[in-house]
């Protein structure tokens, strides 16, 4: 019975691990790496009462084991999570037409937040239209919220930029077209932020951890999941770690602290910066929408860090984490 409970815990953890990774990468592609190990035709009649095996790759078991042995609030950047440190990639909408004409509509991102402008580019191959127009619409009613003409740049690429509005609905549709009616469209999201960063505080040291105080302006109270990337501030920023935490915040000014374990920091002193700050408000009731905070327009400089000031004591995972690692090792054999 205890083994079944442990298998269930590890299974749930693996599902959370893969799904949370996919959510951080954006709406582009859903992972199918976790699947049932027994087909429905092969399952016995009482299969619902039996613990079901989960088919996972050995590399995933190893990655999950390593994650359990490191601080959950401070994960070093590696090939498996590097995408979380970069701007999300949104697939371009490509429309092939007769005569070899191809329209490609590329939004800057999928989700924008007020007062951020909506930006996109359009490339037309095979024929250059005399006039290109855009419309920003409410999909449910086809109400036009903004419209205008777009001129091509010297590189032949059309660029459009629509000023953000506080009354934009969550769901939007961006359409571009030309005479005689060729065009493309793509869905977008525009959110009114529930919180945003006011300023970063002075860095401090707490035993093995570097403390990064952040002051937030909270518009809507609730349970927030906060994630950010700590990196080295230089010409081409180098990401070091993904920091995260959960905080119950009241409306108004709120102070939180993200922590970076010494194991994710370089040995030498460096200038630190914070980027890719994500503020997610958990739905207050089942079925309600997740709230999102305002994204950073640029990385935030944090100041100089001297890692030698931190205690280099290794991280000690708790008993539950060690038990799960042991079971994962058994599953990988």
pLDDT in tens, 33-68: 223 333 333 344 444 444 454 455 666 666 676 777
pLDDT of 303 reads: 95
Q: Read off the pLDDT of residues 255-265 as tens digits, 9 standing for 90 and up.
A: 999 999 999 99
The DSSP secondary structure of 87-107, one letter per residue, reads PPPPPPEEEE-GGG-EEEEEE
- Residue 242 has a pLDDT of 96
Task: Compute the distance between CA of residue 224 and CA of residue 293 in angstroms, rounded to an integer.
Answer: 10
Q: Is 177 helix (H, G, I), strand (E, B) or coil?
A: strand
Give the pLDDT confidence score for residue 302 in this predicted structure: 96
What is the set of domains in the chain, with CATH numbers? 2-69+317-332 (no CATH), 101-191 (2.60.40.1930), 195-309 (2.60.40.10)
pTM of the model: 0.75
- Residue 160: predicted pLDDT: 94
What is the reported pLDDT for 325? 72
Neighbours of 188 (CB within 10 A): 22
Residue ranges of alpha helices (H) inside 43-196 are 58-68
Place 108 in a pLDDT band, splitting at 50, 70 and 90: very high
Beta carbons within 8 Å of 59's beta carbon, 6+ residues apart:
none
Q: Residue 172: beta bridge partners?
A: 188
pLDDT tens across 122-174, in order?
Answer: 998 887 787 899 999 999 888 999 999 998 887 889 999 999 999 999 999 99
Residue 188 clears pLDDT 90, i.e. is over it: yes
In 3D space, the residue among 77, 136, 75, 82 whose CA is nearest the CA of residue 105 turns out to be 136
> How is 202-236 classified by DSSP, letter by letter?
--EEETTEEEEEEEEEESS-EEEEEEEEEEE-SSS
Which of 56-60, 84-88, 98-102, 225-229 has the largest mean confidence?
Answer: 225-229
83 vs 198, more confident? 198
Task: State the average pLDDT for the chain.
Answer: 82
| Burial label, 194 (beta-carbon count in 10 A; 0-12, 13-18, 19+) | buried
Token digits of residue 292: 């999102």
Query: Could you tell me the pLDDT band of residue 80, with boundaries at 50, 70 and 90?
Result: confident
């Amino acid at each position: 019975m205890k083994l079944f409970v442990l298998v269930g815990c590890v299974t749930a953890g693996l599902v959370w691990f893969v799904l949370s990774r996919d959510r951080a990468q954006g709406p582009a592609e859903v992972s199918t790496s976790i699947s049932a190990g027994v087909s429905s035709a092969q399952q016995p009649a009482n299969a619902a009462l039996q613990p079901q095996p989960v088919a996972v790759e050995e590399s995933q078991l190893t990655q999950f084991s390593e994650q359990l042995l490191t601080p959950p609030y401070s994960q070093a950047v590696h090939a498996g999570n590097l995408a979380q440190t970069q701007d999300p990639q949104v697939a371009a909408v490509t429309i092939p037409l007769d005569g070899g004409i191809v329209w490609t509509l590329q939004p800057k991102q999928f989700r924008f937040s007020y007062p951020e402008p909506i930006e996109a580019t359009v490339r037309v191959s095979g024929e250059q239209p005399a006039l290109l127009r855009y419309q920003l619409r409410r999909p449910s009613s086809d109400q036009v919220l903004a419209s205008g003409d777009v001129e091509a740049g010297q590189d032949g690429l059309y660029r459009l930029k629509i000023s953000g509005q506080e009354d934009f609905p969550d769901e939007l549709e961006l359409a571009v077209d030309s005479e005689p009616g060729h065009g493309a469209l793509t869905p977008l999201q525009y959110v009114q932020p529930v919180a945003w960063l006011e300023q970063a505080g002075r860095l401090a040291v707490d035993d093995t951890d570097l403390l990064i105080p952040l002051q937030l302006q909270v518009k809507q109270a609730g349970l927030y999941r906060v994630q950010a990337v700590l990196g080295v501030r230089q010409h081409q920023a180098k990401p070091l770690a993904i920091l995260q935490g959960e905080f119950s915040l009241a409306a108004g000014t709120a102070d939180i602290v993200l922590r970076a374990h010494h194991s994710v920091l370089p040995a030498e002193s460096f200038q630190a910066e914070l980027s890719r700050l994500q503020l997610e408000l958990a739905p207050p009731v089942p079925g309600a929408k997740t709230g999102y905070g305002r994204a950073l327009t640029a990385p935030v400089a944090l100041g100089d860090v001297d890692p030698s000031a931190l205690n280099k004591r290794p991280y000690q995972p708790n008993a539950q984490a060690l038990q799960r690692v042991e079971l994962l090792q058994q599953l990988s054999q």
